[in-house]
Structures are given as structure tokens and as C-alpha cells.
Amino acid sequence: MASILKLQNVLAATQNRLSYYFCLKYKIMKILLIGANGTIGKAVCKELAQRHEVITAGRTNADVTVDITKADSIESMFKQLKDIDAVVCTAGAAKWGHFEDLSEEDFYVGVHSKLMGQVNLVRIGKDYINENGSFTLITGILADDPVRGTAVSAMVNGGIHSFVLAAARELKRGLRVNVVAPGLVEDSVERIGHLFPGHRAVSMTEAARGFCRSVEGNVTGEVIRIY
């Protein structure tokens, strides 16, 4: 009888130890994903949903409605949600066109959407998400290797990179912020591959894992380049 009790105690201790290590390695998080209906967003959602609870946000067909070009819409979104551990953005528009044809308003499309939209997710969201939470933004290869017609995207992406490097140094409560910069992804090759001559197509899995590195890791202030 004593041997059985001893064995039960050993098994219970082992189970507790395994549960502890499992929680350390696989903490189930509540993740807010803005842009889950996009090409990269779908891949990121699929990857993260295997291990975490994912809440989607966007203008349409999402769990929560948000327009990232409007700060009040972003604040309203955060007020509806509780206990968010991570915010991931795969959304943001920017105008394409030859530089000589771009107007000032064309530049503002990218500034208001992809640049300030993501800046405001961090600026406003920092007061709502959980302690030790994270923000993961999106840019792309155009910040480092622009192709024809991408002056707006290159400018906006570069701005986001600099913002992340600076904001990471000042965020409080253990909050982190990173940005993932994918190259041309496989699912976009048929539509826009001809605009990226000589570029290697990045697999959707590889792109999605860049976001996992930010969300599930402990890095901050990094530009995670996937190309």
C-alpha cells in the first residue's frame, strides 16, 4: 500500500512538473488580429489559431469592426475587448504609382492607413492590453528594396521601422513591439509577381512564422525580415 501511495505521489509530482513546463512553452494567449482576411492575414491567423485564441478585427467579416485610419474607431475596438495578450496587424493600405504621377493626397493614403493606423494601434492599445503583452506590425521588403511605383510604400514602411525601434525603448509594463517585413509571398505571385523582377517568393508558412517569432518570443524593437 505504501509503495502504491509513493508511486501516486511521484506520478502527481511528474504531472505537475510537466504541466508547469507546458505552460511555460505553450502559454495560450488571447490575440487580436487586425487584417485576418488579407493574403498574409489568413496565413497568420491559421498559424496562431493552432495554439491560441484569435479574435479578428477589420472593416468587414470580422469578430470586431475597426477602421485603422480613425483613432476613435481603434479606441472603440479596444474598449470592447478584455484581457488581450497580443495585437497583430496585417492590414494597411498604400497607393502604388509612378512617382511623377503621385499627388500629395496619394501619399496621405499610406500615411493615414498603414503608417498612422499601426502607430495608433500601439499608441492607444498600450493602455488596454495585458502587462507583458506585445504588438506586431507589418511592413515589407519595399523599405529596403523598393521596386517601380512604390515610393509611398517604401516611405511608410521605413517610417514604421523607425517607429518600432524608438517605441520599444519607451513602452512600459513589459510591453513589446516588433514589425515583420515579408518579401513577395507565394500567394501574391500570380497577382503582382511581375512587379517584383528577380525576387524570391516567400512561402506563406515562412511569412506566418515571422509573426509567431514576435508574438510567442521575447524580442522587442526588431524588424523581422522574411526575404
Q: What is the pLDDT of residues 131-160, one digit of tens each?
A: 999 999 999 999 999 999 999 999 999 999
pLDDT at 68 > cutoff 80: yes
Q: Which amino acid is at 24?
A: L
Q: What is the pLDDT of residues 156-209, one digit of tens each?
A: 999 999 999 999 999 999 999 999 999 999 999 999 999 999 999 999 999 999
pLDDT score recorded for residue 24 = 45
Enumerate the domain spans of the chain: 29-226
- Mean pLDDT, all residues of the chain: 91
Model confidence at 25, pLDDT cuts 50, 70, 90, reads low
Q: Does domain 29-226 have CATH number 2.60.40.1180?
A: no
The answer to whether the pTM exceeds 0.85 is: yes
pLDDT at 104 > cutoff 70: yes
